[in-house]
């Protein structure tokens, strides 16, 4: 049976998938078990987004700071990513999901870079949910790369520095052509952005969920959407005053 969607839905939802390690620790399991359980929730989140007619879903899969974790855990995470793409790419393609990857790929292992490229190329023409995977992503790095590219364009004469604007920067960041997220969800009860979509989330609504990511199921997703639907988004404007009848 189809879930009854909230009246006001976001076009783009971004999720910071947090709490895999704590989920595993609470069960006496290795952190890898939490990451593997988290992959199952990725599939459910994509299906729920499609069911709710959400056009864009961004998942913070691996941050540029995650390389500082123990080497064994990083290796496990890379293995899980390989497994996810090889196992699920055909299903995502069949479900009309369009995959895009944001983040810096220059330092990523060649086989993983090839898998990411394949996922994008194979699903390029799909018209369902656009799944944006933030991999080796950090917002400060993204902005630094964008500013560097703009500086090079100015130096070569392709851009007049007097014409550099917010719109200019928006065309150089990783999410160019993708609408900014209306809703940012973070699981595990933490209440911070952690270097995620700093530019794009300027006017996003935030919903912080107490559950850990492996427990973030379809019901929790709809609870976050319901909370979003109750928000009054003014984008810095003042709410229009009510006009009394007969005035």
Q: Which residues are annotated as a binding site?
A: 18-23, 31, 35, 63-65, 67, 69, 186, 192-194, 205
Entry field: residues in the chain: 247
Q: Which residues are annotated as a binding site for Mg(2+)?
A: 18, 205
- Which residues form the catalytic set? 18, 66
* Residue 242 token pair: 């009510």
Rg of the chain taking only CA atoms, in angstroms: 20
Sheet containing strand 205-208, edge to edge, reads 98-102, 130-137, 56-63, 12-16, 183-186, 205-208
Q: Which residues are annotated as a binding site for substrate?
A: 19-23, 31, 35, 63-65, 67, 69, 186, 192-194
* Angle at the Cα of 46 from the Cα atoms of 42 and 52, rounded to 5 degrees: 140
Provide the total of helices (H) and of strands (E) in the chain, helices listed first: 7, 6
Cβ 39 vs Cβ 84: under 8 Å: yes
């Amino acid at each position: 049976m189809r879930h009854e969607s909230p009246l006001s839905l976001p076009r783009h939802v971004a999720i910071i998938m947090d709490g895999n390690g704590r989920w595993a620790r609470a069960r006496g399991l290795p952190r890898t078990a939490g990451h593997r359980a988290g992959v199952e929730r990725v599939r459910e989140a994509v299906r729920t987004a499609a069911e709710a007619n959400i056009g864009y879903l961004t998942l913070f899969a691996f941050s540029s700071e995650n390389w500082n974790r123990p080497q064994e855990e990083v290796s496990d995470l890379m293995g899980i990513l390989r497994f996810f793409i090889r196992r699920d790419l055909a299903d995502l393609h069949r479900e009309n999901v369009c995959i895009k990857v944001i983040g810096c790929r220059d330092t990523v292992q060649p086989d993983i870079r090839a898998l990411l490229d394949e996922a994008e190329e194979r699903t390029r023409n799909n018209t369902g949910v656009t799944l944006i995977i933030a991999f080796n992503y950090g917002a400060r790095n993204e902005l630094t790369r964008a500013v560097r590219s703009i500086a090079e364009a100015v130096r070569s004469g392709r851009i007049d520095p007097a014409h550099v604007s917010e719109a200019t920067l928006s065309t150089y960041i990783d999410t160019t052509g993708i609408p900014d997220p209306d809703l940012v969800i973070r699981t595990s009860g933490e209440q911070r952005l952690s270097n995620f979509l700093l530019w794009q989330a300027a006017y996003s609504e935030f919903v912080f969920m107490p559950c850990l990511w492996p427990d973030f199921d379809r019901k929790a997703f709809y609870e976050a959407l319901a909370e979003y639907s109750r928000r009054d988004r003014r984008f810095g404007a003042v709410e229009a005053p009510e006009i009394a009848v007969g005035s």
